[in-house]
Amino acid sequence: MCGIVAYVGGRRAFPILIKGLQRLEYRGYDSAGVGLINDKKIITYKQAGKVSDLLEFIGDSDTSGSIGIGHTRWATHGPPSQINSHPHSSSNSQFSLIHNGIIENYSSLKKVLEEKGHVFKSDTDSEVLMHLIEDVYNNGNDLVDDPKWDDDDDNTLFKAIRVALNEVVGAYAIVVLEEGNPNEFYAARKGSPLVIGIGNSEYFVASDASPIIEYTDKVIYLEDGEVAKLNKNQDVVIKTILNEDKSPYIQKLEQSLESIEKGGFDHFMLKEIFEQPKSITDTMRGRINPKTNDIILGGIKEFESQIVAAERIIIIACGTSWHAGLIGEYIIEDLARINVEVEYASEFRYKNPILTNKDIVIAISQSGETADTLSALEIAQEKGALTLGICNVVGSSITRVTSGGVYTHAGPEIGVASTKAFTAQVTVLSLIALRFCQLKKTVPRGNYNFLIKELIEIPKKIEKLLSLNKDIMKIAMVFKDASNFLYLGRGFNFPVALEGALKLKEISYIHAEGYPAAEMKHGPIALIDEEMPIVVIATRKENYEKIISNIQEVKARGGKLIAIVTEGDIEVKSIADYCIEIPKCFRELTPLINIIPLQLLSYHIALMRNCDVDQPRNLAKSVTVE
Ligand code: M6R
């Protein structure tokens, strides 16, 4: 989704903005732009395409100035084009705005503004917001009824932004520049993330911490409905859009610069796949008592008795996080014997769900900013359910609106295709299942201890599996030109088949379907011919004999079989065309290792097809619109 970066201070703004936009590229975008105050005038450069296209377009033009705003746009209202790119100017070019989010009532606002004489150049909702702010600035509250408008004596643009935002329905993170005012700008948010970095007589603003991290570790996460005035010679001033004063809460950023760089790998995705032994260890760190094997999940401790007594857990999530949720369903039901339902957040929010205060709703999200998941949580809260989160990004919106939760601690995930965040989510869900089976005594202590031991061993097993990278590359070479793929799995590994298929389609643009293996004969079997590669997860203990029958059905129709098998397997090996051997593992924890070769297979196929692995077309890392 759109990325925002802004700077005011003593340095040249342009290089900071460009570097910041490059750091935000992973979010997904299709045009870019910057606005600078140079000799008191606002200069704007924008272009469809990548940041590199913007740089080429700017060439040797003047980029001086120590205040500026930068934006990467992920098209929603209107196609990717120069005119629709941000920043957007007011009618007289006095103001310039960048925006992330969606103004849902933009067309009614646009109509009112057009009647008042405003002329719009772009198709965007963002330009409407710019004109709305301008209109309020010029005409006071004739458009907006704000009783506080007249007796408030703070800066007029600050006021105009606050008043205008009261009229907006939807989500926004914005930064607004004012011509002739090279010392300050304004930032506001509701529903879309925004972080303020505090330097030495300088401020940074960005959609996430990645553009800020190398300059300062002092940050403020702006809350919904807050507007900040950032003047390089003054302390931060924050007010709500209802004109209440807020005290800025300055936090220390815990990320490191290395964590958002490629560290010798060709792509972030590959780095993140290889990081999984470490990220899973980090997810478990401090959560398993080495002496007693007891699990400690501090963020949900106070709700344990409520969870034990719960009639059901409802997991809401999207995409890869939804797949992790499905694995959670299998493992929590199997071990802790709690009824679990897994819902697409986007469907849940519109289906008038039946919920009571006995239900526990767990939102799973890497970014913690996914709009559908946030809205689904709102509904769950309205209906009285206890809401918890499993998130990767510290301080993200979901972590702030839920009553408690568990961080995945996978570190920043930059590749759009989620890999290490997925295994970290599954690790957290395994810890939750184990904690509640311990509390509910649904698994004998001896078995519990074996499971804990196995969980601790997982990073080592993944390490071993990663050494098969070259073999997987060879398999990728054979199938790189396929047009379709089928992924089959059963039980705990059915969601792994779904996730393997999603990884492939996201980054290689090959059509891929995941299916529970036994369902194949109810339809998808019609697709199988000599051209069709089928990836089967056939590790031991997970309905092994049944899977072998499914494999035979595929072979009988000429399909090409790539099987994920347990090391030492003979039976499947004798039937399949290609096999990838997985270290032995308990059934409940196999998803954590079975997904690794599927991630690598997708990566290599995408690379061989010359696809942009880290920034696949049309995709955004964090989907902050509906
Ligand atoms: O940040 P979230 O986990 O809430 O994101 C959910 C999905 O948008 C995300 O998992 C998406 O499917 C990824 N591109 C998967 O690789």
Question: Looking at ligand 1, which atom is closest to the CA of residue 620?
Answer: 14
2, 318, 391, 437: the catalytic one is 2
* 621 inside domain: no
Beta strands, E only, 345-476: 360-365, 386-391, 404-407
Atom 7 (ligand 1) nearest CA: 319
* 153 inside domain: yes
Count structural domains, the chain. 3
Q: Are residues 249 and 285 in the same domain?
A: no
Q: Are residues 425 and 295 in the same domain?
A: yes
Distance from Cα 107 to the centre of ligand 1, integer Å: 29
Q: Are residues 453 and 532 in the same domain?
A: no
Whole-angstrom Cα distance, residue 350 to residue 317? 14
470 noted as active-site residue: no
Atom 14 (ligand 1) nearest CA: 417
Q: Are residues 450 and 385 in the same domain?
A: yes
Q: What does pTM read for this prediction?
A: 0.85
Choosing from 1, 267, 320 the residue with most ligand 1 atoms within 8 A of its CB, the one to mutate for a pocket test is 320
pLDDT, residue 152, reads 56
Distance from Cα 43 to the centre of ligand 1, integer Å: 36
Domain encompassing residue 352: 262-463
Which of 463, 480, 507 is the last residue in one of the domains?
463
Q: Are residues 73 and 202 in the same domain?
A: yes
Q: Are residues 106 and 224 in the same domain?
A: yes
585 noted as active-site residue: no
* 334 inside domain: yes
Q: Are residues 490 and 369 in the same domain?
A: no
Q: Are residues 33 and 98 in the same domain?
A: yes
Q: Are residues 229 and 156 in the same domain?
A: yes
Tell me the CATH number at 510: 3.40.50.10490
pLDDT, residue 246, reads 95
pLDDT, residue 524, reads 84
* 96 inside domain: yes
DSSP 427-460: HHHHHHHHHHHHHHT-S-HHHHHHHHHHHHHHHH
Question: Looking at ligand 1, which atom is closest to the CA of residue 621?
Answer: 14
Q: Please, are residues 557 and 587 in contact by the beta-carbon 8 Å criterion?
A: no
Structure tokens at 606: 């995408």
Tens of pLDDT along 429-463?
A: 999 999 999 999 999 999 999 999 999 999 999 99
* 618 inside domain: no
Q: List residues near ligand 1 (CB under 6 A).
A: 318-321, 365-367, 370, 373, 416-418, 506, 619, 622-623
Distance from Cα 317 to the centre of ligand 1, integer Å: 9
**Facing residues of 566 across strands?**
582
pLDDT, residue 519, reads 87
- Cβ burial 99-119 (10 Å sphere, 16+ → b, else e): bbbbbeebeebbeebeeeebe
pLDDT, residue 61, reads 95
Question: Looking at ligand 1, which atom is closest to the CA of residue 419?
Answer: 16
Distance from Cα 502 to the centre of ligand 1, integer Å: 10
Q: Are residues 477 and 517 in the same domain?
A: yes
* 430 inside domain: yes
Amino acid letter for position 29: Y
Which stretches of the chain drop beneath a pLDDT of 50?
none
Which of 211, 229, 258 is the last residue in one of the domains?
258
Distance from Cα 321 to the centre of ligand 1, integer Å: 6
pLDDT, residue 418, reads 97
Q: Are residues 439 and 561 in the same domain?
A: no
Question: Looking at ligand 1, which atom is closest to the CA of residue 425?
Answer: 3
pLDDT, residue 141, reads 63
Tell me the CATH number at 148: 3.60.20.10
* 444 inside domain: yes
Question: Looking at ligand 1, which atom is closest to the CA of residue 320?
Answer: 10
pLDDT, residue 76, reads 84
Distance from Cα 261 to the centre of ligand 1, integer Å: 20
Which of 229, 258, 287 is the last residue in one of the domains?
258
pLDDT, residue 424, reads 98
Q: Are residues 309 and 241 in the same domain?
A: no
46, 110, 420, 621: the catalytic one is 621
